[in-house]
Structure 1
Amino acid sequence: MSQPHATAHNNSAWVPVAGLTLFALASGYHMSLLPLALDGFGLATDLAAWLASIFYFGLLLGATCISPVVARLGHRGAFILFLLLLAATVAGMPLVVNGQFWLAARFIAGIAVAGIFVVVESWLLIADTAKQRAKRLGFYTGSLYGGNALGQLGVGQLGVDGAMPHILVAIVLVLAVLPPLLAKRCQPQKIQHQKISFKEVRHVSRPAIMGCLVAGLVLGPIYGLMPVFLSEQTGDHQLTGKLMAIVILGAMLVQPLVSWLSPRFSKTLLMAFFCLLGAAGVVGILLSHSTLVMGFNLLLLGAAAFALYPIAITLACDSLDSSKIVAATELMLLSYSVGSVIGPLVANGFQQQQGLPMYLGLCLTTTCIYMLMSSVRPTRGRMPALRP
């Protein structure tokens, strides 16, 4: 059997985490900036849902074709390439104010972000033990959501009007290239990354695939439509940015708990618990009559929604050889992306005033039931480890 630790030699965690933190800072601001900036550029606000969906369609397509890039350039080179590609799409949007161009730019951005996620996740998941993988993924998600939370504050502090916010985002993305660019001996050794065959997909945990799918169904609308929903509720862009930051803060705060619980408890039951917690947060949002109560329930929703993906991806990778980690992260990202493409469009179809929280509550409640049912079923066979 192949030795995972052979590929983990010189596999520094701080380099991808440092670059990811700057990426998350820029991405958090840009995700909330886009739907709020449409009116200022003279574009229809209905474009927000389409921008979110086509971004995730790019993420979906990108999730199917990243491993050849990683195999050719290595994790470090691929990380630099995808960051620069994303920065170029952001910088181009204020230069060409056109709905079709923006949709094309977001599609390309989705491919670039898929590359960033697959590269960083596989970089960190190539480790010696399941416990070390969970710890590294905790660093990953904490950095990602912490950066996103701080980025949301840019909506109030830096505004949403004009070209300058987009230029600032592009600059931060270029700065994210510096850690992998300067640290040349930091990545996993190059190995022969192998695809997961259709036959082997049947052995991948179904709750893991479903967890990633539902994470996309929930997070796509949270990123793409929640800023618009909160802006309609509050009428204040600065307060909207703070409330979105609270959502991402919940995501960041829950990650140490997820890292601690994941190796110790059934991951299927953990996903059921967090879905139930998220559904409770949605009920609180629907019933809240003050900003304080709204903020607390958004914190719960963020903690629950952002806990699903890291739990699901560690569940999928628990029994895999290192040579299949990149392929597994592609498969999980593919599942996430399918949900992220569908989610904003379905959520946008809920026409009533509280349509978005009602959609989120429906997704989380049904997933909670599914995970509880899955936890009492006999365990299916695991994917066999690769043998020489």
Structure 2
Amino acid sequence: MADYEKLWLSHCFVKNEQTVFLKQALLPISSLFISIAFLATGYGMLMTYIGLYLKQAGLSEMAIGIINSAFFLGALLAAVFSQKLIVSVGHARSFSAFSAVMVIAFLGHTLHYHPWFWAGLRLLSGFAFYALLIVLESWLNEKSSSEDRGRVLAVYTVVFFLATAVGQLILGMDISSHLVFVLGSVLVLAALFLVAITRISQPQLPPFERYSLPKVLHIAPLALVGSVIGGFFVGGFYTMVPVFVLNTYGEQSVVASFMAISILGGLLAQWPVGTLSDRYGRRKLLAWAGLFSFVICLLLALFANHTWLFYLLGFLLGTSLFSIYPLSVARANDRLDHGKDLVEVSRSLLFAYGIGSFLAPLLLGVVLGLSGGLFFTVLAIAALILGVYALTAERIANEQLSVFVAVPAAS
């Protein structure tokens, strides 16, 4: 058989495989992907806007940090308590309940403005949003085969990142505050509508597994440290970086552009980072993510007033900061023996990620209130800690590496 015939047959096989994947794996759960897109658009829009609104209302950076941290406190509570409700009433009903809570929280912002009242609303929003993600992700895992799960999660990652970036671009239109909260509510209701009419059967969640951070620290210390620092970066990025950019440039459109560019950088980095980590190991890539973020954060501290350079550095920062948590999860999987304790370790890493996200706005709010110049310096120190620790961590042989699967940092 000639070479061109072999090439043509290979192309036909790949094309047929892609068609089968689209028809059998993606189309049956397409309503879930669209629901995720609606939720992520509202999430990205509101996460950025809250800090901007509070700053324009005259609140201090410390107060903004406290209010924003309430969102991630709600996320931690969802990680502990939401699964019990999902198991007891089912996915569809729990999705409806959590959607109602999220809409109430969003619209509550338009009824009354008081910092403590808004902190309570952020707590409800964080609980509801992460509970909704637990429902949708468990559905995706249940309805995808072991052969297709990696590709399904890859599509999930693309949808989540793109939708979050769209949320930033909507803010660039400089719409009114009431419209932001109403639009966020409409997006949640649109997601609820798609889930309410879906014919996808409801999965069975496994029993709740306890969290054991000391156990993870013993099994995969680098994964635990990476999860905390990854959560610190992402939590700080979505909550306090918009405030820093607003303080520097004074324009909401610049904030929206910087956030969208950084998120797209994170999306585009997932495939090459995953490929390189499969080849060279998670330790080296986590070291790269930490040290690269360290350099970029120092450059951001020095050149924050140069708009286009600021955008470029934001894109580069996105490539590394959104890779830390997926690399940490992959590192933990490399350390486990044939999936032993996988559920407990995975949930413990997610909980550690939530702790980092919760601490970020608290610490960065204080730092930003003291000095804008110290803001990215603190992030640089956190990145340096990760990079140096990764370089000193134990190496894992290539034959023991698991397959890297990209996951959105928010989920």
Residue 389 (structure 2) pairs with residue 373 (structure 1): no
Residue 298 (structure 2) pairs with residue 283 (structure 1): yes
Distance 1:297-1:92 versus aligned 2 partners, 3 A rule: same
Distance 1:323-1:254 versus aligned 2 partners, 3 A rule: same
Distance 1:142-1:237 versus aligned 2 partners, 3 A rule: same
The whole-number CA distance in structure 2 between the counterparts of 1:74 and 1:347 is 39
**1:166-315 correspondence to structure 2 within 5 Å:** 166-187=181-202, 189-196=203-210, 198=212, 201=216, 205-261=220-276, 263-288=278-303, 290-315=306-331
Q: CA deviation at 1:137?
A: 3.0
In the alignment, what sits opposite 1:106? 122
Q: CA deviation at 1:13?
A: 5.0
Among 89, 97, 100, the alignment partner of 2:105 is 89
Q: Structure 1 counterpart of 2:259, which letter?
A: M
1:53/1:342 contact within 8 Å kept: yes
1:39/1:45 contact within 8 Å kept: yes
In the alignment, what sits opposite 1:56? 72
Give the secondary structure class of the aligned counterpart of 1:183.
Answer: coil
2:232/2:357 contact within 8 Å kept: yes
The whole-number CA distance in structure 2 between the counterparts of 1:67 and 1:326 is 14
Q: Which moved more, 1:224-233 or 1:345-354?
A: 345-354
In the alignment, what sits opposite 2:8? none
Q: Structure 2 counterpart of 1:342, which letter?
A: L
Give the secondary structure class of the aligned counterpart of 1:190.
Answer: coil
Residue 374 (structure 2) pairs with residue 359 (structure 1): no
Give CA-to-partner distance per residue, 1:86-140, whole Å, 9 cap, x none.
22211111112122210111111111122133334444455554x7444333223
Q: CA deviation at 1:337?
A: 1.2
2:61/2:365 contact within 8 Å kept: no
Larger radius of gyration: 2
Query: Structure 2 stretches of 5 or more lacking a match?
Result: 1-23, 402-411
Structure whose residues are more often helix by fraction? 2
Cα RMSD, aligned residues only: 3.2
1:250/1:302 contact within 8 Å kept: yes
2:67/2:115 contact within 8 Å kept: no
Q: CA deviation at 1:338?
A: 0.8
1:61/1:111 contact within 8 Å kept: yes
State the TM-score, normalized to the length of structure 1: 0.83
2:39/2:188 contact within 8 Å kept: yes
Residue 359 (structure 2) pairs with residue 338 (structure 1): no
Q: Structure 2 counterpart of 1:338, which letter?
A: I
Q: CA deviation at 1:40?
A: 5.4
Q: Structure 2 counterpart of 1:108, which letter?
A: L
1:60/1:333 contact within 8 Å kept: no
The whole-number CA distance in structure 2 between the counterparts of 1:320 and 1:79 is 34
Q: Structure 2 counterpart of 1:305, which letter?
A: L
2:262/2:314 contact within 8 Å kept: yes
Distance 1:142-1:156 versus aligned 2 partners, 3 A rule: same
Give CA-to-partner distance per residue, 1:276-331, whole Å, 9 cap, x none.
22223213312335211111110111121111222323444575999977655532
Distance 1:171-1:179 versus aligned 2 partners, 3 A rule: same
Q: Structure 1 counterpart of 2:154, which letter?
A: G
Q: CA deviation at 1:25?
A: 0.7
The whole-number CA distance in structure 2 between the counterparts of 1:39 and 1:24 is 23
Q: Structure 2 counterpart of 1:332, which letter?
A: L
Q: CA deviation at 1:207?
A: 2.4
In the alignment, what sits opposite 2:10? none
The whole-number CA distance in structure 2 between the counterparts of 1:207 and 1:72 is 36
Distance 1:118-1:320 versus aligned 2 partners, 3 A rule: farther
Q: Structure 2 counterpart of 1:36, which letter?
A: L
Q: Structure 2 counterpart of 1:292, which letter?
A: W
1:60/1:111 contact within 8 Å kept: yes
In the alignment, what sits opposite 1:66? 82
Distance 1:40-1:202 versus aligned 2 partners, 3 A rule: closer
1:60/1:338 contact within 8 Å kept: yes
In the alignment, what sits opposite 1:5? none
In the alignment, what sits opposite 1:151? 167
2:63/2:365 contact within 8 Å kept: no
Distance 1:114-1:331 versus aligned 2 partners, 3 A rule: farther
State the TM-score, normalized to the length of structure 2: 0.79
Give the secondary structure class of the aligned counterpart of 1:157.
Answer: coil
Residue 46 (structure 2) pairs with residue 30 (structure 1): yes
Q: CA deviation at 1:146?
A: 1.4
Distance 1:82-1:258 versus aligned 2 partners, 3 A rule: farther
Q: Structure 2 counterpart of 1:117, which letter?
A: L
2:70/2:123 contact within 8 Å kept: yes
Distance 1:269-1:118 versus aligned 2 partners, 3 A rule: farther
The whole-number CA distance in structure 2 between the counterparts of 1:39 and 1:134 is 41
Q: Which moved more, 1:350-359 or 1:317-326?
A: 317-326
The whole-number CA distance in structure 2 between the counterparts of 1:66 and 1:304 is 31
Give CA-to-partner distance per residue, 1:229-262, whole Å, 9 cap, x none.
1112212221121111112121222223345445
Q: Structure 2 counterpart of 1:239, which letter?
A: V
1:251/1:305 contact within 8 Å kept: yes
Distance 1:120-1:375 versus aligned 2 partners, 3 A rule: farther
2:217/2:224 contact within 8 Å kept: no
The whole-number CA distance in structure 1 between the counterparts of 2:317 and 2:215 is 34
The whole-number CA distance in structure 2 between the counterparts of 1:297 and 1:72 is 47
The whole-number CA distance in structure 1 between the counterparts of 2:159 and 2:238 is 17
Give CA-to-partner distance per residue, 1:138-167, whole Å, 9 cap, x none.
2233222211111111222043x4422111
The whole-number CA distance in structure 1 between the counterparts of 2:25 and 2:342 is 17
1:29/1:148 contact within 8 Å kept: yes
In the alignment, what sits opposite 1:386? none
Residue 365 (structure 2) pairs with residue 348 (structure 1): yes
